[in-house]
Structure 1
């Protein structure tokens, strides 16, 4: 039998031990030689002026601004988010819940010189672009690695309905002829100018989306598009972006659901335009995430939340749509079944009566939902650039898992116990990324714990890891320092 090293038990809830071959309960076998998709990160959005709420628009104090930023971004006290999704405005004005366009004067024609205006919200402390620019700078300072800017619509004068809301199509794509002409190049130039404003502020935009939920006609900023019509714009946008010298890559198309996006991707593929994309993006609303897309491009789930349920802070109460355990399962299945490379929440923090924000703000009150700590189980333990590795569960339908190997060789294994009983779990197949031993840590989330370190010990090469997972709980095991 391999000698065991004494370990420090930080919480009585969970114990971890290295032990030899006798195994009971559920066995999880890790195979780091069998790899899947790259992990790009966890993220959130503060579009439609939600960023101004973080900076005090509704009474949040400076101290709580810092607290909220840390909750979302810190890798030691928060969720460790590394992707920020911003909204590119299209509205002529910017009362609350609208995103102002950088071009509010309608040009005489698509070829006329545009009249750009980089103002956004100018109230002191909010910064430009409806609070998003300041948030972007603060997020980068706290470790955000990737900026994704997405346009919900082109400005109204570029569309066949002359409105940035209520659907409508970009003038010039297949089947859409406008008396004003073809606005595809003007829209490409518009997006490029937005990037240049950010570049002048010292911020590089990594990915750009030109559509958001193009399958929906809604009363807020929106623009309809089929896959073929998206390809028609890519025909113009891709060379324009390439000629600019910017390193920004194109994302498409943020379908409102998994199958809605699959349809648009297939249309882009049939048109021969898939090579112009950097990533494929989809939401989880209209249809849930399911079988992977047939593409060599990384796939991101870029927006999903509980939009209809009441405000819920619990990890588990009755299995409702807004609980933390529900979202832990959504995230895990997205990685394990749908092969996504990133998973983003709709709103990180905001003042809302719905359940859509991870951190709910009310004046200067900060209410943290357990959904945030579901995101932390991956955001805090898996680094961008890691790869998902094979993790096979034997003997329990109630225990599910994912596993990732970071670039430094360390491994994170996320284990969810969906049953009402404690589960004994054995993790086998792990190898140390040092010569002989590793420090193994376990982090617990349930109704009584957020992302709490429960145990750590020295683990010897070739031994297994055993733990008792509390009912309706999640633990991530990490190897490394």
Structure 2
């Protein structure tokens, strides 16, 4: 790529979110398809939609983009031959020939997306307790190939970043004695025991050569439901964060603590009581949010209120060009990351224990022939971001555009390149131009497609 060229890749949607993707593969018009290079030219008048990009006006720095390695995905991977499993891992992490993910979400114990009976790392008989964690063990994660799969991913992508989330404390710590529903029992001894449990989980992974960059304190703390879950009030989460910080400091650990890990709609009411408290503000490193209710604009409000606390979009599944535009809105509202939820279900939509019916995942495995699998368009649509927005990139100023024509978000990469992800949600091709630093380029984006445009700043 010369200083006068713009490299272009395009992917298109096809039946986004439809169950037909569990039936077999289908070919979209564009699948991370390289296009002829465009030319940067002197500016000239144009009637096309115009995107103005200002690389010197920077916003948040990106930690990364990725997906989850929950037990459902690993269970399905484990049914494959080693070569097929390795091929999928390469496609997830390879920036040249794959999607280029660098950020993966792990679960501390089991989540609802698992083929196994629900478990934690300290499951006891009813009436028993273990405050000193003498019976703590991650052996189930070893037996279920979770550790081995993560290690295999690390070999091919040593700079990968992992963060972890728990769905429930051990049942003996909870008010109802169950991994489902309930809350953490009252009393400092339970707060401290849970902090010890989480510290030991992070240490156990580190002993396996898997460093955990950050952890959330409770997945969806306002949800009690019939899979691993635990209600946790803001006050209790602040107490847990403080106790966990003490545990980490006492053991020389650098893992960061992200609070909340739930929906935009409830973010203010949950986060403000923690960060408006002096101790809470001190022990918390970042904010984790999900997008199942509410508006991404809440993240801009939180950034203005707490500018020293980075924001991470830790869970959502998105489909089609509408999903690609939703991602653009995350980043335009200060999200430093995005993680998709669940990487591979099989053609029978298995195996999971969620209470609903999931939509199609990036990879779908044939339930009859486990070595056979296919990709959905979401793989390529996510790659339009992940392959070209490098870790450490900064979001830069760009005019958003319109859903009636094209929308976008733009970044400046550590290598000096600029990347604009442009989305066309309409049923017709859309011409547009980009004006940047005294130059312009003109392009036409096909209907229902996403284009990534990369050039030298």
Considering the TM-score relative to the shorter chain, is it more than 0.5?
yes
Aligned mates of 1:146, 1:38 — CA distance in 2: 15
Aligned mates of 1:164, 1:404 — CA distance in 2: 42
Per-residue CA distance 1:113-150 (angstroms, 9 max, x = gap): 521233115xxxxxx16332122222223335211011
Does 1:290 pair with 2:301? Answer: no
Structure 2's unaligned 5+ residue stretches are 10-32, 350-357
Aligned mates of 1:367, 1:134 — CA distance in 2: 23
Per-residue CA distance 1:40-82 (angstroms, 9 max, x = gap): 11111122343121122xxx23232122212222112221111
Which SS does the other structure have where 1:213 is aligned? Answer: coil
Conserved 8 A contact 1:261-1:281 = no
Match of 1:358 among 327, 337, 362: 362
Match of 2:92 among 51, 56, 72: 72
CA shift for structure 1 position 295: 2.2
CA shift for structure 1 position 275: 2.5
Partner of 1:140: 154
Per-residue CA distance 1:423-472 (angstroms, 9 max, x = gap): 22211124xxxxxxxxxxxxxxxxxxxxxxxxxxxxxxx43222121222
Higher relative contact order (CA 8 A, sep 6+): 2
Cα RMSD (Å):
2.8
Partner of 2:24: none
Q: Higher helix proportion, which one?
A: 2
Match of 1:26 among 36, 49, 53: 49
Match of 1:118 among 134, 138, 156: 138
Aligned mates of 1:424, 1:373 — CA distance in 2: 22
Partner of 1:184: 191
Aligned mates of 1:375, 1:187 — CA distance in 2: 36
Partner of 2:270: 264
Which structure would you say has the larger Rg?
1
CA shift for structure 1 position 393: 4.9
CA shift for structure 1 position 28: 1.3
Match of 1:105 among 124, 140, 148: 124
CA shift for structure 1 position 5: 7.2
TM-score by length of 2: 0.82
Conserved 8 A contact 2:6-2:37 = no
TM-score by length of 1: 0.78
Mark the CA change 1:393 to 1:101 in structure 2 (over 3 Å): closer, same or farther.
closer
Aligned residues: 410
CA shift for structure 1 position 380: 0.5
Aligned mates of 2:388, 2:156 — CA distance in 1: 16
Which SS does the other structure have where 2:97 is aligned? Answer: coil
Per-residue CA distance 1:185-232 (angstroms, 9 max, x = gap): 111111111122112112211111220011111111111012112112
Mark the CA change 1:394 to 1:241 in structure 2 (over 3 Å): closer, same or farther.
closer
Match of 1:331 among 327, 330, 342: 327
Aligned mates of 1:388, 1:473 — CA distance in 2: 22
Mark the CA change 1:111 to 1:132 in structure 2 (over 3 Å): closer, same or farther.
closer
Does 1:42 pair with 2:59? Answer: no
Mark the CA change 1:109 to 1:34 in structure 2 (over 3 Å): closer, same or farther.
same
Structure 1's unaligned 5+ residue stretches are 122-127, 307-322, 431-461
Partner of 1:316: none
Per-residue CA distance 1:295-332 (angstroms, 9 max, x = gap): 221111111126xxxxxxxxxxxxxxxx4212211211
